[in-house]
Structures are given as structure tokens and as C-alpha cells.
Chain A
């Protein structure tokens, strides 16, 4: 029975949330209008607050309704049907929630409500003007899931639409309007990864947090509080930088672990769309810190904070309007909301620019010049580098937008993204990385010193000496081929500067610890960044394909000389040399519910319900028997794991990897890599092609008459008929009292081991049945055809097929761990900085006096 209640509840909640956002925006606007900061009209403010509470409750109700639809498999709703399925584990149901555009908008809306509540409760002075901005943003966002059609105008796309209303033409609904599909179409296999459960919420929290500094900046302009907004906004901006940075790296890690493009970053427009605002956010963070210390760069701060939020909106527009359709592999499909998204973007661009222009001359600026021995000067240069880096990515990523725009005004344009995107972006971003590393080291040393030449030189000496030593060491190790040898000038420069940045920042952090002064979160974050650069340099610059085709076969093909043949064909159980390893593909495996390892497909006999299988031999793990022969187990048939054994020829050490592939009816063959981690490198493998199980072609049946003990020759193998024995356990058949079943016991000698085959001959209800047995490893199928009781002979049929194979790519990624470690250290550093800046907002004294006094003390201690 169709449950319309829950959908109606959800849809009604969307409308309530939308209306409440309008009321809250208006009321807060009126509360703040024409009054100085902190002096709010209490009636209007109470109305605004009440409306925002109603909005929050309505948003929770929307989330409850949508999750209820997904969790209870209510496939009468389009959202559940198209994103979920019966066998999906609960944690992936959470992923389904935000697989669709509507759900991800909802996630974003949800974070905004939480952030709005913290402002209401903890920033009373700023509440009215900032919450006016918040509610205004919520108004736009809730409109995206409104799902109201007025004439030709479609406002928003509702997640609560019924399947029959979505597919009005489907014949099923003409026959039976109450038809409910038994199963959904399932979650995109690429998203079936635990990182996808936490990556989107993290990223959207990061997106949401950028609204807070933006709202403070707008409130600051509006209320002519050009300076006071920095203090509450700074810890929020740091928090946003932390969450967004972690979110981006989670996405990178997900891509590395799940996608098969062979890396963690592909310069895909969707990735860039998040990277650009993050760079600008970090730039804005630094100008805020400059301003707090020396009253420089206030106007720049305004511009950068506002731009960060606008770039988040631009990112949303890029990824959701369908404009990247031809350019990106993983942008959302177009929901027909591009006009609405554009309106949203345009509204905030105009609002922000108008406010900035009107107040520009009133924003205080200092006339003091900065000297070269001044740390602020170098930080400012760093900010410029970050902005240029962001600008470069923006210019290239927007190419599809130029095409659309030119097409819109009637000019035909055939510009495309660069053919080699990685080379294109690396060309610029490498030097941005180099500059950032140098500047972060230099500025950090200068920041804690007095601005005089000899002190600076002293502080530089130790890190520089250590850098020379360490770089020489890396170079030597490369020469004796223990680690990759640095062979390009630009990579050498990057190595040098990232090591310098590590030592310079480390020396400063250690100095501060020793003197028990305020610990530098900034220094630690910079060490993290420098480590990340180091990890990126080696893992990307020196990633090494070890799956080169070394079979030695020469083909008379078109132009093989300069082409890398990067994939290796592995026949089942045949060893192939790959780099220092002997590699063998051992077979297909399945995931079995409640069992800690993958299970060989040969041990499982799939039942008509393909999520269940009969066990053909005891399944053990560490001497504990989990399942006995004949048990029925639950399996996840979507995913096949290909067992690949690696054995190092020199050390003799072996390991096993299970790259995964899912043959998805919607998306075809989706491969996911398997990664072996070592302390100094990762080995990353993925299946490019697997022999198609369904299109297996069997040779014609060959019949043979055998007696017990006879030998049978099959292709390259031979088999011996050991015995004929009666059996009562026949897979999938219930035997009655008068039924008979016998099985033949063959032993077949394979390359590595012997195999048993048990074809079965059944007489049930006077009908003959034959259950063949297949030895996948050898590509053989034996059928027990008949019993010749007179001569005591048995007729056996043999079919053979092409042996199973996979085509594998394997890549070594040196020092990739350093990238992940760097990410963690960066996060810790930023966390410390947040803590410190948050404590500063708690000090009641005049902020400027306080911080300059503190600085004087600090300088004295340093001297």
C-alpha cells in the first residue's frame, strides 16, 4: 500500500521551512535595520528568532521523512527507488540520502541551521544582521527542494515525489496506479565506500561554515563595524579551512581507494570547484591574521572573505547545473535548476559587490609601508600567490562556462579543457607549491623575530643547513636506487623548498615550546602543508607503473615504439613477472555476510535468490569453522573480488590483494582498486578488464566411457575417476525416499594442485537429472551422463572453455603516506589555532590593546 503520509509530511515541512526562512530573513532585517550593532529591535528579533526555530524544526522533519522513506524501502517514492535497494547495508543508506542532489542540498541546509543556532545562542550582539544573511541563504537553498511548478516555471526539485508522478508514461501505472516496485535500482557502486558516508557531510559542513565569516563581513559592512567583525569571524574561518581541507583530502582518499583513475587527484572540474574556494579561504585567513597584528590588509580581507563564499556558490553552480556534462565524470545530472542556481549566485554576487563598493572608502586602510624584513610583507606575498593559484584553476575550470556563455549570446565556440589536464595544472600549481613552501618557512621565522637582519640570518642558518643535509641524503638514496631518483630541476626545487619549510617551521615550533610561549598552531599547520607537498612530489611525480607488458611478444601494430603498454594480462594461476614481483591471479571471490575474509566463489553455489549461496566445503578463518558444508550463507553478489598474489622474488615475502569490480546494470564494469601499504610506498592495483562470466563459450560436449580407475585426458590436464558413490546431499534438490543420486569422484591434476570434481547423476520421480561440476581454475566442466550397469562403465561428458583471466594495472606510489600524515598534522595545527583564536574572542578587554601588549611580552621573551 502506498504510504502518502510520509511524503506529504516531508513536502509540507519543506514549504514550512521555506516560508519560515522568508519570515526570519525579513524579521531579522527589520530588527537590524537603521540601528547600530547590538541595538536591535526586540520585537522583530523575537519574531526572526522564532521563525528560525520553526525553520530548524521543519528541516529536521524533512530529514526525518526522507530518511524514513529510504530506510523503510518505500519504493513508491522516486528518491528511494532510484538511490536505494533492498540489500543495502544501513550505513550505505545514509549515503543514498545524499546521493541525489536534493539530499545533498538538504545536508547543506541542515548544517546552516546548526550554525545559525550557535550564532543565535553565542553571538547575541551580532545576531540580527548575521542571521538576516543566514535566513536569506536558507530561503534560496530551501527553494531548491521546493518542487513547485507554476506554469512553465519549475521552482526546486522535491525529493518527495512519487514514482508514478515522476514516470507518468510508464505503462505499469496505467494498469495499476498503486504499483510499488519490489526493489530499488540501488546506490552507485562507486559510492559504496565508507568514505562516502563521511566525506559529503564533512565537505558540506565546510561549505556551510564559509557562510559564517561571510555573514559577519556583510554585517560588518552593513553596520559600519569594519573592524569588530574580524574577531568573531577569525576562528570560524579557521574552522572552515580545517573542515573544508579535511573534506577535500577525504575526497582525495576516497578517489584513491575507490575510483580507478590511478590517483587521489585528477584535476576534475568537480574537484577543482572545492579546491578554489579553499585556497581563497586560506588566503583570507592570512590577511585576517595580518590585520590583527599590524592593521594592514583590511580591505583585502573583506574581498577575500566575501569571495570565498561566492566561490562556494559558483562551485555549486558548476557541479549542479549540468554545465560540465561533457567535461566531468562525476558532476550531478541536471535537474533543470540551472536558472534558479544562477539566480542564487547572481543575487549574492550583486549584494556583496554593491555593499563593498558603497563602503569601500570608509574601510580603514593604513598608509604604513611594509619592509622586506617584515613578516607581514611575506605573508601578504603568500596570500597573493594563493589567490593567483586559485585564479589559475578557476580560469581553466570555467572553460565549459565560456562555451555556454558564448553560445548563449550567439557565438559558436569549440574550446575544450586541456587534453592533458594534469600537465596543464601541474605547470602552474607546482610553482605555487614552491612559493608557498618558501614563504611559509620564511614568514614563520620572521613572524616570531624582531625585524632585523642579523636575527633573521641566525634563525635561517640552522634550517638551511639541515635542509642541505637532508636533501643530499635524499639525493644519495636516490642514486643508490633505494628511493626514486630526483631527475628534474623543478622537482628538485620542490623537494628543496618543502624540506626547508619543514625544518624552518619545525625550528620555530621547537623554539616556542622550549620558551613555553604560546604554541604556534600556524607553524604546525605549515609543517603539515610542507609534508603534503613532499608526499605529493614523490607519490605523483615518481609513481611507477610496474604492470608493464613484459611478455616479450612483438606485434606488428601501428606505432608501438613510444607507447607505454601499461597493463598485463593474467591467466588464472599463471605466474607473470611484474617489477620485483611474481604475480598470479588466483580466482574470483565473494564477500560473505558475517565472515571476516573473502570466500572463493568455487566454494559457493549460488541459489536462485542470488544473494544466497550454499556452502560446498567448510569455511574456516583462523581454525574457527564459520560455516559447514551445506549451510546457506548470505552473499553480496554485486561485487566480485579478484584474488591476486604478489611474491617478491628477492625477499620471498608475499601478499594478496583483492581488487574489486562490480558489473552494474546502469554503469557497466566498475572497477575499484586494492592497495597494499608499505612504510615507504603503496602498491595500487586495479582490474581493467575481466573475462566475462556470462559470455563464456563452452566447447562441444565430448563423451567418454570410463571404468573406475581410468584416466581421462583433458586439454593440458588429466583426470582419474576415483570412485562412484551414492549421495544424499544434492545442491538445490530435495531428495525423496525413492529417489537416487550418485556422484562421480574425479581427481584432476592442475598446475599447482589437485582438484576434485563431483558431477552428480540423479533419478528423482523417475526422471533423470544431471548436475555438472565446473572447475573454474582449469576451464573444465564434467557431466555425469549415464550409467552402463551391464559393462560397469560410466559415460562422462567434458566441455572446455577459455581460461579465466584479468587484465591488471599495478602502480607503485612512493611516500604517499607522507601526504596523509601531512594532512593530519595540518589539521592538528589548524585545530590548535582555532583554540587559540577562540580564547582570544573570550577576552573582554579592548582587543587591539590586549594583543599588542601580549605581543610586546612575547617579543621580550623572544629577545
Chain B
């Protein structure tokens, strides 16, 4: 066999290895129910959950806890996933400033004991995606 063929086979083998390994690292979008099941099976892999903040009948956000004076690195809230499972989420970082305005929240992390510990939070604020409105005060 020629050396170039050996190299070629080696490259292909490495490429396949990369694909398999990347697939292993890939995360999943799951519901809180699935996240709890994964945790109860002892799996600690990080997952993505998409949800909305829990709100009461008046549209006020409920269950949000953040007191920077007490602890700037502790933020906790209740998220309702797309299948309407509720879950308390803890984030050991300051509260993202525009959190209340977000329309949709994507969290990454896993269940630990009774809380979902999020490492990362992605917010989708309506204003970022919906077309801006003209300020009426301008010249009317």
C-alpha cells in the first residue's frame, strides 16, 4: 500500500472519530420531565430547556428571587417549559438585567436535587425580534 493511501485512510478514520465524538458532546432540547428522569438515572449531562416565566393571572412574574445585597451570585426563578411542566431554576450568577421582559428563555444545565441548575441563560426579548414601533411623540 502506498503511503498516501495510508494517510488517506488515517484522515477518514479521524474524520469519523470527530463526527462520533461531536455527536456525543451534542446536547439536547428536553422538557423538565425528561431532565428529571435523566437526573434520576444518574446522568449528569447538560441539557437545554426552552420555556417561559411563570406568571399569575395579572401577568406578573411569580417566584422570582434575587437580592443582590444579600448575595449577588444567586438568582432563582420558576420556568414553565413548552409542555407546561413547572420547575424552579437556580442560576449562580447575577440576574440578567432584562430578564423580566423576555418572551422566551432557553436555559442550559441539569437537575441537581430539586432544582435545575442553569449554567447559561439565553433570552429572547420581544423587542429584538418583533418590528420596532414608531414613537408617536415624535412630531404629532
Contact = CB atoms under 8 A, between A and B. Distances in A.
Interface in B53-71: 68-71
Interface stretch (A35-43, A55-63, A418-426): A418-426
A415 interface: yes
A391 interface: yes
A419 B132 contact: no
A384 B48 contact: no
A395 B18 contact: yes
A167 B134 contact: yes
Given A388-B14, A418-B26, A667-B128, A688 B94 contact: yes
Interface size grouping (class) on chain A:
35 or more
Given A428-B18, A549-B72, A689 B30 contact: no
A329 interface: yes
Interface string B21-33: 1100111111000
B74 A557 contact: yes
Nearest to B11: A384
Interface in B77-125: 90, 92-95, 97-98, 101, 106, 108-109, 112-113, 115, 117, 119-120, 122, 125
Contact of B139 (A182, A387, A418, A553): A182
Contacts of A175: 140
Interface string A415-448: 1111110001001100000000000000000000
A689 B27 contact: no
Interface string A116-131: 0000000000000000
A621 B45 CA distance: 56
Contacts of B129: 333
19 contacts: A172-B134, A180-B139, A329-B122, A333-B129, A384-B7, A388-B18, A396-B25, A415-B26, A416-B47, A418-B26, A419-B27, A424-B22, A555-B71, A557-B71, A558-B113, A567-B73, A567-B93, A689-B97, A805-B69
A13 to B, nearest CB: 26
B102 to A, nearest CB: 9
Interface in A380-398: 380-381, 384, 387-388, 391-392, 395-396
A566 B72 CA distance: 9
Contacts of B127: 665-667
Contact of B11 (A388, A416, A420, A553): A388
A391 B129 CA distance: 32
A682 interface: no
A408 interface: no
Contacts of A558: 90, 112-113, 115
B72 A416 contact: no
Given A384-B11, A388-B15, 11 more contacts: A182-B138, A369-B3, A384-B7, A395-B19, A396-B25, A419-B47, A424-B25, A555-B74, A564-B92, A668-B98, A689-B94
Contacts of B71: 549, 553, 555, 557, 565
B68 to A, nearest CB: 6
Interface in A661-687: 665-669
Contact of B3 (A370, A392, A428): A370
Contact of B68 (A418, A424, A665, A805): A805
B128 A414 contact: no
A179 B94 contact: no
Contacts of B134: 163, 167, 170, 172, 181
A616 to B, nearest CB: 29
A172 B135 CA distance: 10
A532 B59 CA distance: 51
Nearest to A418: B25
A569 interface: yes
A180 B92 CA distance: 46
A568 interface: yes
A370 B6 CA distance: 13
A326 B106 contact: yes
Contacts of A170: 133-134
Contacts of B22: 392, 395-396, 418, 424
B132 A82 contact: yes
Contact of A569 (B2, B14, B72, B140): B72
A399 interface: yes
A417 B134 CA distance: 36
Interface in A26-40: none
Interface residues of B, number: 59
B131 interface: yes
Contacts of B21: 427-428
A666 B130 CA distance: 10
A283 B116 CA distance: 44
Contact of A566 (B93, B115, B117, B135): B93
B97 A668 contact: yes
Given A369-B3, A388-B14, A666-B128, A172 B117 contact: no
A111 to B, nearest CB: 29
Contacts of A333: 129
B54 to A, nearest CB: 18
A212 B134 CA distance: 44
A559 interface: yes
B135 to A, nearest CB: 7
Contacts of B108: 419
B36 interface: no
Contacts of A565: 71, 73, 92
A863 interface: no
B7 A807 contact: no
A689 B11 contact: no
Which 3 pairs of residues, A with B, have the shortest CB-CB distance?
A: A668-B98, A419-B46, A669-B97
A181 B139 contact: yes
Contacts of A391: 15, 18
A427 B115 CA distance: 29
A185 interface: yes
Name, among B11, B27, B120, the residue most crowded by chain A CB atoms within 10 Å (CB to CB). B27
A380 B6 CA distance: 13
Nearest to B139: A182
Contacts of A388: 11, 14-15, 18
Contact of B119 (A329, A395, A419): A419
A567 B18 contact: no
Given A167-B131, A419-B47, A559 B113 contact: yes
A183 interface: yes
Interface string A537-557: 000000000000100010101
A849 interface: no
A326 B15 CA distance: 27
A301 to B, nearest CB: 15
A442 to B, nearest CB: 16
A489 interface: no
Contacts of A424: 22, 25
A563 interface: yes
Contacts of A82: 132
Contacts of B2: 369
Given A82-B132, A567-B72, A569-B72, A417 B138 contact: no
A134 to B, nearest CB: 33
B21 to A, nearest CB: 8
B138 A183 contact: yes
Given A558-B113, A807-B94, A420 B46 contact: yes
Contacts of A557: 71, 74
Given A170-B134, A420-B46, A563-B92, A568 B72 contact: yes
Nearest to A415: B26
Contact of B125 (A163, A418, A419, A667): A667
A416 B97 contact: no
A416 B28 CA distance: 5
Interface string A631-651: 000000000000000000000
Contacts of B139: 179-182
Contacts of B11: 384, 387-388
A674 B128 CA distance: 26
